[in-house]
Amino acid sequence: MNISFDFYEYAGIIVPGSVLAFGAMFLMPEFREQLGPDGFTFGELGLFVVLSYALGQLVQGIGNAVEWLLWWPLGGLPNKRVLDGEALTEQQHLRLLDLLRNEKIIGEEGLSKQDARAAMREVYARVAAAGQSARVDKFNGIYGMLRGLSASLLLLTIAFALVETERATLLLVGFSTLVSLRRMHRFGWHYGRELVVVYLAMHARPTKP
């Protein structure tokens, strides 16, 4: 039986799951020897991939909580804030609102967070239907990977602290968690801004020769 994974499953599920699995193996002496030069057998590698996939699904559940904790104090996810004009020029913001109203995606009144999410989902659906979502999907996939990595590294930081790991190792994992969260924040904005820019470009009037 052949099993294939798409980009999001590799980046967003298997990578965070494998990081957590490797970290857990490092904590358990009976499994640590698997990280040595002899490594895995072919069969063990297959089992490790399956385990990483399963762990990655669970990690992304925790990643949803990490996502909320990251964005809530900052004013919410970029999807609503982009519609409010953040990360856009004034001209881009006005063009965006005009397009969304003309296409009946939003009304004249203000948007709630739920309405903003629904509006951005519809914007993405239209971009994808036009075959213009490749770059947007790339940013979204990287964002999902970083969300999972942040959750995995946070769990490992807590685990390493509880088992009194060497301070250098604990600091390294803790610092990696902060870097991952910072990159997650960055690519969250990349995704929201790129989606809007592509949507605007789709509706740009062609210049006369």
What radius of gyration, in Å, describes the C-alpha atoms of the chain?
Answer: 21
pTM score of the predicted model: 0.86
Higher pLDDT among residues 117 and 40, named by residue:
117
Mean pLDDT score across all residues of the chain: 86
Rounded to an integer, what distance in angstroms lies between the CA atom of residue 184 and that of residue 143? 6
> What would the two tokens of residue 125 be?
């659906």
For residue 155, pLDDT over 90 is answered with yes
Rounded to an integer, what distance in angstroms lies between the CA atom of residue 148 and that of residue 64? 9
Q: Where are the domains of the chain?
A: 7-202
**178: how many CB neighbours lie within 10 A of its CB?**
13
For residue 20, pLDDT over 90 is answered with yes
Rounded to an integer, what distance in angstroms lies between the CA atom of residue 48 and that of residue 58? 15
Highest mean pLDDT range out of 32-36, 117-121, 186-190?
186-190
For residue 36, pLDDT over 70 is answered with no
